[in-house]
Chain A
Amino acid sequence: MTTALVVAGLSATVAVGAVVLRGLMRRLKLLRRLDRAESVVADAMADGRLAIATGEALLQHLDGLRRACIRGGEG
């Protein structure tokens, strides 16, 4: 009986852990995508391919998404 309870508890913990880990990996992937986008925008602003006002607007929106990613959920 006790063994069965321990096995059930461990299985539940592993299942919850897997879900949490999957969520974290997903968020990490999104954060990496945002990093790349911010760097692309910053480079384009620096060499004059992108107007400063547009670049700043993009960076502001990207930053909002970064904060939503860090907060978790769907932002």
Chain B
Amino acid sequence: MRLGVDVGRALHGHGGVATYTRELVHALVQSRRVDEIVLFDLDRGRWKRAYFESSLGHLPSNIFIERANRRELEALDLFHAPGYAMPPVGTPRYVFTLHDLTVLSHSFCHTLANRVRTLASISDALARSATILAVSKATKEETVRLLALPTASVEVVPPMLNPIFKVAGDCEKDLAMAARLGVREPFVLAVASLEPRKNFGRLLDAWTSLGAATGAHQLVVVAAEGWRQGRVRRRLERMTGDGSVVKIGHIPDEALAGLYRRANAFVFPSLAEGFGLPVVEAMACGAPVVTSKVSSLPEVCGDAAMLVDPEDTDEIAAAIEHLLADRRLHRRLRDRGLERARSYSREAVIPRLFEVYRRAAQR
């Protein structure tokens, strides 16, 4: 099989879609189940191998980098579009990853440009009879409901977890890295991009309301820049000034894994997720999780996290306080989280992905 994959988002961005795409490429390479993989950059049209390798690491010789022109695209058996971009022409067989439909269900969380781009690209994929690959059952259900699709036409394959997120790490190195970032222990960690859907406003309200109940804990916020969060950003700066919060921008996965390992709790009170990869990363590193009981998160976490109403600040605060105070609960969630995270390993997910590829190629 000659498989084409658009990796534009992995080359030019951070966040969930970029992480998903990067991990997809690494898992495909590792699986050795595809004869030839051709990578494209549909975002900016780059085609220099060195440029791709600067983001994705060394690529073996059966991985080709090509320009997205008719000749190259029509020579493919299957094209996987994981970044909301469809090629202009090409093979009649496509797999299109749908990360979420929050541009429709939570439109107030998105910019108009983002809503137009995403829906236009979904329209393009459906018009070309692409196999739609939803990252969770919740996303599938929402897609079927909002786009009037037959249930059988949407496949579910979760994202794969980068193996760098693991509980075993170098303690000295993690501590040194945390110190370099200005983090002191103990701390509670939050990781998400700065955008309305991630609900940072209520998280900061909850943290403020806890006051002395947080003990000596700091709230460490790892947040890449997003959109429409001017007020939250200013508030984060103020709280950073008084020492209750540490705000860190985008950091490499290795450093992030170290923070997950050192965190006493991980908080992710998102208003809606298609999957919620940071939750699985935290679980894989042994951080007990407090997250939302909405959209995909209950399905992703099972019984391995404390689930709260993301619109109820008191409930978020109570869950954090409970988790920090109750060592048995802390240990139980940590153990269950480690077990849960295993179901999102490359080894567990890649056979499901190839089954979807097989069916898509036969359509």
Contacts and interface: CB of A to CB of B under 8 A. Distances in A.
Interface string B97-139: 0000000100100011101110110111011110000000000
A62 B122 CA distance: 11
30 contacts: A30-B112, A30-B113, A33-B120, A34-B120, A36-B120, A37-B124, A38-B123, A40-B123, A43-B127, A44-B128, A49-B129, A50-B127, A51-B149, A54-B126, A54-B147, A54-B148, A54-B149, A56-B148, A57-B146, A58-B119, A58-B147, A61-B104, A62-B119, A62-B120, A65-B116, A65-B119, A68-B112, A69-B112, A73-B112, A74-B111
A73 B116 CA distance: 14
B117 A33 contact: yes
B150 interface: yes
Interface of A: 26, 30, 33-34, 36-38, 40-41, 43-44, 49-51, 53-54, 56-58, 61-62, 65, 68-69, 73-75
Contacts of B146: 57, 61
Contact of A26 (B107, B113, B119): B113
Nearest to A66: B116
A57 B123 contact: no
Contacts of A40: 123-124, 127
Nearest to A57: B148
Contacts of A65: 112, 115-116, 119
Interface in B36-60: none
A49 B126 CA distance: 9
Given A30-B116, A37-B123, 15 more contacts: A33-B120, A37-B124, A44-B127, A49-B128, A50-B129, A54-B126, A54-B147, A54-B149, A58-B119, A58-B122, A58-B123, A58-B126, A62-B119, A65-B119, A69-B112
Contacts of A69: 112, 116
Query: A34, A44, A65 — which one has the most chain B CB atoms within 10 A of its CB?
Result: A65
A57 B147 contact: yes
Q: What 10 A-B pairs come out closest when comparing CB atoms? A: A44-B127, A37-B120, A53-B148, A57-B148, A37-B123, A40-B127, A30-B116, A75-B112, A54-B148, A74-B112
Chain B interface helix/strand/loop/mixed: helix
Contacts of B111: 74
Nearest to B127: A44
Contacts of A51: 148-150
Contacts of B116: 30, 33-34, 65, 69
A75 B107 contact: yes
A59 to B, nearest CB: 9
Interface in B145-174: 146-150
